Structure 1
Amino acid sequence: MASRVLRDVTKYKRSQLADRHQAFEARKAELLSQTEKSDDPIQTLLDGLKKLGLKSTTAATANGGYSLSNTSQMLIQSTFDASIPSALPSAWQADLERLLTIQSNKFEYTDLFSRLATEWVDKPNDANLLLGSPFGSDSTAETSDTESFESVQVGREEMYRQRREWDSFVFTERQTDTAAIEAYLSDLFIEPQQKKKVQKTPFDHLQTAFSKWNVTDDTCDSQDVEQAIKAVLRADLLSGRKRDELIALSNAGKGVLTEVADVINMELANLGDWSWKPSPTPTYMRKQINGKYRVYMNPEIHQALLLQYIGTRFAVSTKAIFKGFLRSKAWPKSAHSSMSSKDHARFAFYLRAHKTDFKDSVLHARREQFKDDFFLTQLPDKIEEGNRDYNAPGDSDDEDTDKKTPLEIKQTLLRLATTELMVQRKIYGSFTLCQTDFKWFGPSLPHSTIFTVLDFLGVEDSYIDFFKKFLSMSLVFPQDGPNAEPRTRLCGVPISQTLSDVFGEIILACLDFAVSKATKGRCQLYRFHDDVWFWGQKGDCELAWAAIKKFTGVVGLGLNEEKTGSVHISDKGPVRWGFLVLDPVKGRWIVDMANVDQHIAEMRLQFAQCRSVFSYVQAWNSYMGRFLGNNFAHPANCLGIEHLDMVFSTFKYIQKKLFEDDDNTTGCEDVTSYLKSVIEERFGTKDIANVFLYWPVELGGLELRNPFIPLMTARENSEENPHDLLEIAWERDEEAYDQWKQKFEKDRSKHFVDAPQGCDPEKFFSFEDYVRFREETSEALKLAYDDLLASPKIEGLENTRFVDYALNTLPLEFHASKHIKTKFSTMDVYWRWTVHLYAAEAMQRFGGLGLGEKEMLPVELVNLLRNERVRWQG
């Protein structure tokens, strides 16, 4: 296993480092002693430094390294040249002695980094032990695996409550009225007049496409296996040893992957005989960063890859089929107040335009964004995308695709809702915003509903039979002890399986269509998995809500009352997004501090169970560096600077409360002072450099994330008042109207020919008529709409000569760093800011930006451990 090899390598590196460090400190002490006794201390230092190999700080002389040769030459000159001040040689001596201190610092911090990495391996958190950490069996932690297991088992009543509720859904068969579902779908998809037509309807094409889908149209090869491995790792399906084995398999080479592909092809050829092997499948509860628990299967690797291969192909085909239906005439696409052909003719006449398709409009932008970002967004467009991890915590959105990540889509949803609120209130004077989701959607999906919908859409019976076997797996919870009884799943779909995503999206695509049809296209569901948002004018939202309620009753799902809220339409409850709640009076999002306080308590609990400094850093980065920032919303023009400053204040409040001790024993008020105190207590290292905490791992730092920097980079260009963007659009519409009117009146004589009915060739139409369909006709509104949806321009700190000098001293062995580059302009703005904050300390204490001895740093071991998601205490 890669992890064990890296651990052994780290142990060897530590022993070598200890020998080198000890030898250096002995020679250093001897040299300083000789220098103190020497009649020529500077020359003694020069000779000793050359023997130690310390010819420069961290880089070649041309790139800022310290030149011993220069000092030697100037020293000779000083013996003859009285113009050289007597104090200057003392400064030279101090510089030479500083080279020794720098080298000592590099040895010390390389050793500290290695000890911290070893601590992470030897003392895994309880949550990692429970899920089978690859290092768990050799743990030297203070408690045994059994004790750790028991400590997780007791105390968290919420886990037991959610487990009982999950069990009540999954192990209870929920029969739905299949005849009623078929009748509902027929009424939805098949228009009465269509039954009489010979020509195929859009739904006929949809059914035909589903009936022709076949997973064996292509042959699985090594590249397909490689893509499946990436998808399974991204989905976080496997943990501990199985994840470790899967990573090793991904690096095994084409020959091994081809053999795995051969096995998959054999299974595909006999799919009718497929079954879960071995059975039952072990199943675990994992606590998520948001406080919820989710139940993950832990299947054998070859089963996981086979199901991923099938699921990805079914997902891509499903999305392409439904997108074709979306583009068809069957799917209504009207605006809030759509222009008639007569209206188009009026605009064409008065503005002298031959065609008025108004593609540069808010209406067109809405349609395109819905299609690109929110229609079946859980499903991939291409095989190469693999899966779309809806449950990703937002700390590893690194998908190789131009498509928006799940995190970006969630942020887009908030921006859209906020922008539409501003635009529609400005145009219509009112706005209704609604949100809901389905209660325990994945576990509660009735199997009879899934198979009825698949059959109605035309999926072959042989595949439906396979899907039935897939869903009716036997499960066992190792947490229940050695005598735990296996139980068969009778309802719902397993998490982190692409096939599960397809089943859910197919059913909810029917809901998307039902709402669009009920509202004649004036309401679309902006849906991310089962999180449902819709907005518009009150009457349309009422129709949409009625369609949702009808659908829910027919297919056997339940709405989550706790997450059902609206502004303007009813008193169901507030509209929430992340840690924000919408103030319906002010029309702006505010932080829900009660929710924040709950998470502070949870954060303290989670941080307390971190047994190593690196695990604490990883937990901090997930919570403070990403999760909280994501759920307060990323900076956006529609939110403005007021929102940004509110988030600043909240982060400050969280950090103060997080380290506020009941008996005030820690004396720490922030994460920097806290980690310094922990490291000093455990490892005896005092006066820890700040740069060591915040510097990237590959340069010998802990890579602690600073949540304030991303906010600071956006603050300079944030909108003071986002509503001003709409005011400017309104003024531009007035200016444009005046220009069109002047042009019309100037050429009045040309307008008498072919004037459409209702158009006065002698009088330009009114401003009210001109702006009556702003969402379809106003380019100025479209510009404002785009601006409101956009992020403020990121503004980093200005480059300086010192920063350029510091970057130039980066040694060659560190040039592969992902974060710190030799050129300021090529770095991410976060790291540019970080360099400005900590480069001076790095230069002073380490002689450059590399904090340790590169070949001695166990960077790959740390990276391997960081690749697995944080496991939260349950």
Structure 2
Amino acid sequence: MAGSSFLSQTLQSITTTKMQEQDKRRKTFETRKAKLVESAEASADDRTKLAILLSGFRDLSSSNKGVWYVDEDRKNLVQNVGRYLEQSSRDPSMSSAVLRQFERDMHQKLGQESQRFSFADLYYRLLSEWTDAKSAPIVESERKEEDLDGSFEYIQKYTLQNLKDKFSSVVFTPLETDEVKIDAYLSSLFDDDYATELLDSMRKQIADFGLHLKQRATPFDRETLRSCIKALLTNDLLNDDAKMTLSEFSTNEDVLDEIADVLNLRFSDLDNWSWEADDGLFYEPRQQTNGKYRIMMDQDILQAIFLHYIAVCWCAEFKNGFMLLTLDKKFWVGPNELTDDERGRHFFFTGSYPYSTSGMAHEEMNAFHRTFMCSSLPSSLTDESDPYGEDSDPNDETSTGLGIRQMLLRQVATNVIIRQALHGDVAVVQSDLQWYATGLPHATLFAVLRFWGVPEDWITFFKKFAEAPLRMDPIPGQDVRVRKRGIPITDAFEKLFGECVLFGMDVAVNRLSEMTLIRFHDDLWLCGEPSKCASAWQTIEGFVKLHGLDINTSKTGSVYISTTDRNVEIAGKFPKGPVCMGMLQLTESGDWTIDQKQVSAHVQQLKKQLGQCKSIISWTQTWNACMGKFFQNTFGKPANCFGQAHVDAILNTFADMQRELFESHKGSVTEYLREQILNRFGVEDIPDSFFFLPEEFGGLGLQNPFIPFYVLKDQLMKDPTDRIAEFLKEEKAVYKTGLEAFNALSDSEKQRRFTKAFDGNAKYNFVLDEPFYDFEEYTSQREMYSGALQRAYQDLMRKPSSHDIRLTNGIKPWFDELKQSHAMGWNDLSSENKWIMHLYAEELRQRFGALSIVDRNLLPSGVMKMLKRKKVVWQLIIWD
């Protein structure tokens, strides 16, 4: 990696200075050590040898000199051994064997210091290679002619040109849709009096908001600007140069004040706003972290801030309005609740009232409102959610795309298990809209905005935004054309406009098919009763056609699981294709398996990309991003609903992948890297600990893909279906207990129950003569009311906690020393690093005399931090 493209001159200077300092220490140490050993070996007796070694060791410069804890330890060691040596001059009981052991200890410590200096030198040589633009690739390309139909560079240009041509053919060609029919369709979803009243109230709210927003006198100030800048720095709207400028703006209050003045003036004249881009807004393909290219627009920085503020204000308003609709039980169709009569019967027979908060349906609706519903829309300017993030935290399941998808995957898997066990059949449908934001018809967009009550003056503003002057040519003013379809992607307006249109789909599926559609922007998921899923899918198809949208058939599929014969008529309504989340695929039997064909394709791609790396460190970065992150996420995070078999499948897949990647090295990544380091640097005999040790301790920080799963493996349910069998057994036992308790009631006790259940209403007297209700009635709405089923659902949804390696007494003091020397002890380590550090602790102590290899004062921490932040991009995927 070229230093000029990534490392600042200051960081390079610091790195060079530290490298020179450690090299000077190393050479001084080795020279003095050689003389010391030679002098000691020339001595005639053990006492003299030890005295010479001790004196020399005290004066030698250690690799981590200056760390008070280490210096103090060396001082105490020399002092103690010196006193023992003095004792030996007069005490006959002090044998030569004891002195020779001290001598061997001195030689070992000198050897350990040499090892530390040697590996510090290797570390800096690796860093120098990483910053050298002239470094040769790890493996020279061996592509045959048939691979990729020729050279990658040619295919890239050819395919990118296809992408640009496709983009142009879509965005500059209007697609006319029938605004009257769209309005009539959406209106039909609010056809009853109560729904009409709700819609009218929302429209008034939207209109009032539009009026009040325009009346804001000075909406921009320092804090508002900082919030906008922070958001723009986290998405891909702006190019790297613009982001760098924005970052500098955020720390300069004088600049922020000037920007606020300019944008407040612009806002006060909102009706006359325009793009002010006669030369055209340049659109270019940019590669994302997942390797795919997207056509992105270069925006003026001030314009981007201005538009972001307006869009997010509208996003928050619409999200609030949409949320109120979904929370309204009279409007939003949810699971059927018990009638008053049914609740009375339940109390009469059991002595208690059922509560809907005790059911799995309650859990799923909570997740819908808390996480899934309009997840793309920010709630405020300070909302840091990232529902699109390819590089986001998969453990954050409320605001990041990866995390939300992992939660959805668990919910679908759990629902499949429960529904299959209770009802015998379940369907799952997955789909996606083709080029949704890019190809959104403007006629559809403005029809929908008008339907929701957006005032005409704002429609005019939004129309000017959508009809931007674009050019695909890098030359300003060349071939400028007005956009007639679609909106800029990764822009806050994409979230606003996209959600306003697709929330209509949410309402349609709910009101017409009595289901709740789970949607991430334009990714669509249905799971539940097959007949309802089939109806919902037909609703989606009708909605898509009317609004001028397209189904992405390559990302659309269904699975109809049934313990009996499938209903042929229902099955015929489902879309063809697999159901996948990442590389995890749902089978017809209801199991989730890893798509090995897809894995193999990615392994071949990874092998080529690793071979193109020009340094060991960049190779390690690529490995960590792919094996340590990408594959772990796409295989699905372990959870009880997948059981231990899922983890075993992941571990077996990783083993197969490494055998394929390192076929000539017995599948060992360490043996492969040892060979590469030997060939490139001439260094051999490298311990395993050097590869896996965290960078903070002087290791490469190579991630072991097996360990994150071994720390969880024993915490999972072995077979998730056992949990449902346990629930069914519990349910029958509770029913039997209730039956026996009811039959034991006296007539007077039954009468008291009857009075409380039905308020003594004589028309229900027949209940007094009924036997305990049958098991079918008892279980008819268990998803809504069963606390036992809710607990089973929660157990299946649960992610395993880490089962950490236990710190043993024998090596505990070593981690206490690490805490002193590196400010990181055992409790500061992650579960994976505890595993690594404990596994290699003995090797580290024997080889280096400590649990670290390179002193932290010599490590270029600034470079390392930037190294960790650098994203690795899949290179060989162009677009789809």
Q: Calculate the TM-score normalised by the size of structure 1.
A: 0.87
Is 1:640 the counterpart of 2:643 in the alignment?
Answer: yes
Over 3 Å counting, the alpha-carbon distance change for 1:118 and 1:285 in structure 2 is farther
- Name 1:849's counterpart in structure 2: 851
C-alpha contact 1:526 1:532 (8 A) present in aligned 2: yes
Alignment match, 1:226: 226
| Match status 1:323 vs 2:315 | no
Choose from 55, 69, 89 the match for 1:60: 69
SS in 2 for 1:106: helix
The match for 1:415 among 385, 410, 414 is: 410
Equivalent residue for 1:346? 345
Q: 1:56 to 1:571 in 2, by over 3 A?
A: closer
Q: CA deviation at 1:530?
A: 1.3
Secondary structure of residue in 2 paired with 1:499: helix
> Is contact 2:583-2:599 (8 Å) kept?
yes
- In the aligned structure 1, how far is the partner of 2:434 from the partner of 2:182? 20
Query: What does residue range 535-546 of structure 1 map to in structure 2 within 5 Å?
Result: 535-546=527-538
1:32 aligns with 2:37: yes
Q: Is 1:551 aligned to 2:555, yes or no?
A: no
Answer whether contact 1:283 1:296 (CA < 8 A) is retained.
yes
Is the 2:116–2:853 contact (alpha carbons within 8 Å) kept by the matching residues of 1?
Answer: yes
Q: Does residue 23 in structure 1 map to residue 28 in structure 2?
A: yes
Per-residue deviation at 1:268? 3.2
Deviation per residue, 1:24-55 (Å, 9 max, x gap) = 33233333333333452222222222222449
Alpha-carbon distance between aligned partners in 2 of 1:720 and 1:802, rounded to the nearest angstrom:
34
Partner of 1:3: 8
Q: Note if contact 1:436-1:565 (Cα within 8 Å) is conserved in structure 2.
A: yes
Q: Give CA-to-partner distance per residue, 1:434-492, whole Å, 9 cap, x none.
A: 111111222222222222222221224444334334334444557x7999755544322
Asked whether the 8 Å contact 2:466–2:487 carries over to 1, the reply is yes
How far does residue 425 in structure 1 lie from its aligned partner after superposition?
A: 1.6
Alignment correspondent of 2:657: 654
Contact 1:283–1:298 under 8 Å retained in 2: yes
Equivalent AA in structure 2 for residue 359 of structure 1: T
Residue equivalent to 1:123: 133
Q: Is the 8 A contact 1:170 1:492 kept in 2?
A: yes
Tell me if the contact between 1:564 and 1:575 (Cα under 8 Å) persists in the aligned partners. yes
Q: Does 1:595 align with 2:598?
A: yes
DSSP-derived class of the 1:317 partner = helix
Q: Which residue of 1 aligns with 2:584?
A: 580
Counterpart of 2:155 in 1: which secondary structure? coil
More divergent stretch after superposition (338-347 vs 716-725):
338-347
Which aligned pairs between 1:193-204 and structure 2 lie closer than 5 A?
Answer: 201=200, 203-204=202-203
Instruction: Identify the residue that residue 631 of structure 1 maps to in structure 2.
Output: 634
For 1:485 and 1:15, how far apart are their aligned partners in 2? 54
Give the 3-state SS of the residue equivalent to 2:802 in structure 1. Answer: coil
SS of the residue 1:295 aligns to: strand
* Cα pair 1:730 1:780 within 8 Å, conserved: no
Q: Render the CA deviation track for 1:824-861: whole Å, top value 9, x for unaligned.
A: 34432122112222233333333323322323322212
Q: Residue 862 of structure 1 aligns with which residue?
A: 864
What corresponds to 1:786 in structure 2?
Answer: 794
Query: Alpha carbons of 1:434 and 1:82: their partners in 2 closer, same or farther (altered >3 Å)?
Result: same
Q: How does 1:53-452 map to 2 (within 5 A)?
A: 53-54=61-62, 60=69, 67-123=77-133, 153-156=153-156, 158-191=159-192, 201=200, 203-204=202-203, 207-208=206-207, 211-212=210-211, 214=213, 217=216, 219-250=219-250, 252=251, 254=253, 256-271=255-270, 272-275=272-275, 280-288=280-288, 290-329=290-329, 331-335=331-335, 338-353=337-352, 355-394=353-392, 396=393, 403-452=398-447
AA partner of residue 13 (structure 1): K
Q: Residue 566 of structure 1 aligns to a residue in which SS?
A: strand
Give the residue type in structure 2 aligned to 1:121. T
**How far did 1:387 drift?**
4.7
Return the alpha-carbon distance in structure 2 between the equivalents of residues 29 and 246 of structure 1: 55
Aligned residue in 2 for 1:43: 51
Which residue number corresponds to residue 873 of structure 2? 871
Matched, 1:562 2:554: yes
Tell me which amino acid in the other structure corresponds to 1:405.
Answer: T
On the 8 A contact 1:709/1:833 being kept in 2, the answer is yes
Percent identity among equivalent residues?
Answer: 31
> Secondary structure at 1:556's aligned position in 2?
coil
How far the C-alpha of 1:266 sits from its partner, in A, is: 4.0
SS of alignment partner, residue 432 of structure 1: strand
Equivalent position of 1:506 in the other structure: 500
2:767 aligns with 759
Residue 513 of structure 1, CA deviation: 0.9
CA contact (8 A) 1:744 1:764 kept: yes
Contact kept in structure 2, 1:374 and 1:527, CA below 8 Å: yes
Assess, with a 3 A threshold, how the Cα gap between structure 1 residues 55 and 292 changes in structure 2: closer, same or farther. Answer: closer
The one-letter code sitting in structure 1 at the alignment partner of 2:614 is R
Q: 1:372 to 1:126 in 2, by over 3 A?
A: farther
- Structure 2 unaligned residues grouped into runs of 5+: 1-5, 138-149, 561-570, 759-763
Are residue 519 (structure 1) and residue 513 (structure 2) matched? Answer: yes
Give per-residue Cα distances to partners, 1:395-439, cap 9 Å, x unaligned: x5697xx83422121111111111111111222221111111111
CA gap of 1:238–1:850, structure 2 versus 1, over 3 A, is farther
> SS at 1:42's partner residue?
helix
CA contact (8 A) 1:375 1:527 kept: yes
Query: 2:62, 2:389 → 1: CA distance?
Result: 51
- Cα 1:645–1:125 shift into 2, 3 Å: farther
Rounded to whole Å, the distance in 2 between the matches of 1:482 and 1:607 is 38
Residue 340 of structure 1 and its aligned partner are, at CA, apart by: 3.0
Supply the distance in 1 between the matched residues of 2:702 and 2:347 (Cα, whole angstroms).
60
Distance in 1 (CA, whole Å) between partners of 2:282 and 2:843 is 50
Q: Determine if contact 1:152/1:873 at 8 Å carries over to the other structure.
A: no
Q: Distance in 1 between matches of 2:688 and 2:525?
A: 44
> 2:583 corresponds to which letter in structure 1?
F
Whole-Å separation in 2 of the counterparts to 1:270 and 1:98: 78
How far has the Cα of 1:578 moved from its partner? 1.2
Aligned counterpart in structure 2 of residue 674 of structure 1, from 638, 648, 672: 672
Q: What is the alpha-carbon root mean square deviation over aligned residues? A: 3.2
Instruction: Tell me how far 1:320 sits from its aligned partner.
Output: 1.7
Name the amino acid aligned to 1:178: E
Deviates more, 1:114-123 or 1:701-710: 114-123
Q: Name the CA distance, whole Å, in 1 between partners of 2:215 and 2:790.
A: 46
Following superposition, the deviation at residue 357 of structure 1 comes to 3.0
Shift of 1:751: 2.0
Deviation, 1:323, is 0.9
Name the CA distance, whole Å, in 1 between partners of 2:670 and 2:481.
Answer: 48
Structure 1, unpaired ranges of 5+: 128-149, 816-820
Residue from 501, 507, 520 that aligns with 1:528: 520
Equivalences for residues 741-780 of structure 1 within 5 A? 741-748=739-746, 749-752=748-751, 753-754=754-755, 756=758, 757=764, 759-760=767-768, 763-780=771-788
Distance 1:296 1:201, change over 3 A: closer
1:459 equivalent in structure 2:
454
TM-score, reference length from structure 2: 0.87
Is the Cα–Cα contact under 8 Å of residues 617 and 704 in structure 1 kept in the other structure? yes
Cα separation, partners in 2 of 1:92 and 1:524, compared to 1, 3 Å: same
Range that drifts further, 637-646 or 159-168: 159-168
Rounded to whole Å, the distance in 2 between the matches of 1:794 and 1:581 is 26
AA of the residue aligned to 2:179: T
1:369 CA drift (Å): 1.2
Number of positions where the alignment pairs a residue of Structure 1 with one of Structure 2 = 829
1:266-313 per-position Cα deviation (integer Å, ceiling 9, x unaligned) = 443344434256954444434445553223334344444334333333
User: One-letter code of the match for 1:574?
Assistant: P
Residue identity in the other structure for 2:523? D
Match for residue 132 of structure 1? Answer: none
1:643, distance to aligned residue in structure 2 (A): 1.5
